Chains A and B, each alone.
Chain A
């Protein structure tokens, strides 16, 4: 799923990724956000957020030119500067995610949520 993402930079060779839990924490503290940290080799998106922690939308990435799902996400309010929060996750494989944006809650499959880039932050 993620390997299909064209915007994903190639990870540095020889550096093992940390266990998922650690990666999540690292992500969350804002470390390893870009190429000067070896932990993370892709941008932080909704699927990296811990539950019930506010974040700010940076952008929605198109998977391919004219990505209809990315366009719809923007129409639903996933635009730069909006506050988001992952409220809950599905019982099987934490999929889908329940995401609060504005005053609305949407269930997004992980593939959809992975299009929404976010950064740490509380109120917009």
Chain B
């Protein structure tokens, strides 16, 4: 056995079942990262053939052609050719083709063959092809292509056996394909000849696809179904994840209390309890929402429904400078922008993806609800409007609507302003419907969780500890009568910020509460309670005790201004950390922070001044 592992690269069209095959071959022995310098996902796994040979398998991004039209495809092209910086050239290309879609996929296989690298073709989904009565003559394809051809079934446990056996057979004498296309041959004509020689297809489409598409893409039945699916997803992210999140919060509090008892009073205890444990809890608390959301997204993507949803909504989203695929990330951002932004990975076009990431924080996430509830409860009278509607409810609805309208406006403005005014195509393949395989779902979920904890979690934790430092130091002198927070850096910052925020009607107390609210928006409520020197047990109690206090203390104009602020508020370090991670750019993160801040300030200023002018000051 040679010492160095064999380097394999999986290439193929999108939807050829390449990733399922990758999961089958490598199982959990995978590493997910990005290619150097770009936000294209790099998946590598290890496997050992029955003959005992170690292989490193790279799952390249799906590509329709080596004439790259996107960043993903450029990476695939360069790695295949061995040009990608820092990426060793693969020893063997494994070209995966879908047995039910050979017209498209064999053309790509021909293109890959023309690279002149050692290669093997895996005809995947052979089970589905057989069921649909499609006859594929593997020997004929092998003869015509001049490379070994094997069958594979990614959803079956032993579905990769033929491929592994082939690897063992050819590993010691890799050679380039024995045939090449004569100069100037039309690739499509060659594909057609290949199909003629090797494939018999009774019908062009699966009957089940035709039937499902007839209803799921129907102008209104389709939209109704989509609304129902979206409602279920939204409900699940919002409601199913909540008990888990409550449990995590309770566990964090319990752990903090235990650590607090074990450690002596002092800065160390404060660091461990309020900094590290609270910070870790603040990271892990996002996991339930991320896992629930991604379970749905992965299932929808694998089953083939997600591209259909994009098809139904593309026109609407395109008008606003987004694309049909932006819809699900934006919808999930209503629960929390962190999983929403992570979900933009399903948008291939980088421009559409960035636009979606930038407007996602505008969606009213669930963490803003406690603030809304406090302010609306304190300032908006509980009265009926037109008999059936409730004024408080109407205001809440108005805030949500304002957020959506703002997001559409921001997206439209960005569309106008960006330098890249070229036409970006939709050209979206709607693959056959398939049952999602549990193995692929589990591996996908595991990857998302790992990425979040490793990449985003680190930044959130570091910033939480920094915030703890600002809130804790310097400690007030022994004779200090006021609030400890008042004496800290954060308190001083709050007083300094009060000058900036005077025109929008925020006093120093609100400014101080905004600072811990950076860690998580909902913390603002309990921070306000701290500033008002209330000793309360939890958030609900804080809101209850605060409500009458602020109703007396604040003017209506200030309350409205704070509501307007929270529609846009960029004050969530977790979201910003996720934007940084997903765009791989501090500039984009800075841009997002600035524009959200500017919007929030402008909206509050307008609201406050208008309210004062109308006599609500």
Contact = CB atoms under 8 A, between A and B. Distances in A.
A102 interface: yes
Q: Which of A91, A103, A106, A109 has the most CB of B within 10 A?
A: A103
B612 interface: no
Contacts of B223: 91
Interface string A87-109: 11011110110101011111111
Interface stretch (B28-36, B52-60, B383-391, B422-430): B422-430
B429 A106 contact: yes
Given A90-B312, A91-B223, A107-B307, A96 B426 contact: yes
A26 interface: no
A112 B103 contact: no
Given A90-B312, A96-B311, A98-B217, A77 B107 contact: yes
Contacts of A111: 423
A102 B314 contact: no
A83 to B, nearest CB: 8
Contacts of B436: none
Given A76-B64, A90-B312, A92-B316, A103 B102 contact: yes
Contact of B188 (A77, A96, A103): A77
Given A75-B67, A77-B107, A103-B101, A98 B213 contact: yes
Main secondary structure of the interface of A (DSSP, over half): mixed
Given A72-B425, A106-B428, A106-B430, A77 B104 contact: yes
Nearest to B220: A91
A102 B426 contact: no
Given A79-B188, A96-B314, A72 B104 contact: no
A71 B68 CA distance: 11
A109 B430 contact: no
B311 A107 contact: yes
Contact of B315 (A69, A71, A93, A102): A93
A71 B425 contact: no
Interface residues of A, number: 31
A71 B428 CA distance: 15
Interface string B397-437: 00000000000000000000000000101111111000000
Contact of A103 (B64, B67, B100): B100
Given A87-B213, A105-B429, A106-B430, A76 B311 contact: no
Contacts of B205: 100, 103, 105
Given A69-B423, A73-B427, A102 B64 contact: no
A109 B318 contact: yes
Interface in B211-269: 213-214, 217-220, 222-223
A91 to B, nearest CB: 4
Nearest to B307: A107
Contacts of A2: none
A95 B318 CA distance: 10
A72 B204 CA distance: 22
A104 B101 contact: yes
Interface string B303-341: 000010011101110100000000000000000000000
A88 B428 CA distance: 14
A25 interface: no
A17 interface: no
B201 interface: yes
Contact of B217 (A63, A69, A77, A88): A88
13 contacts: A71-B69, A77-B103, A82-B188, A88-B213, A90-B312, A91-B220, A91-B223, A92-B315, A96-B426, A100-B204, A103-B103, A108-B425, A112-B425
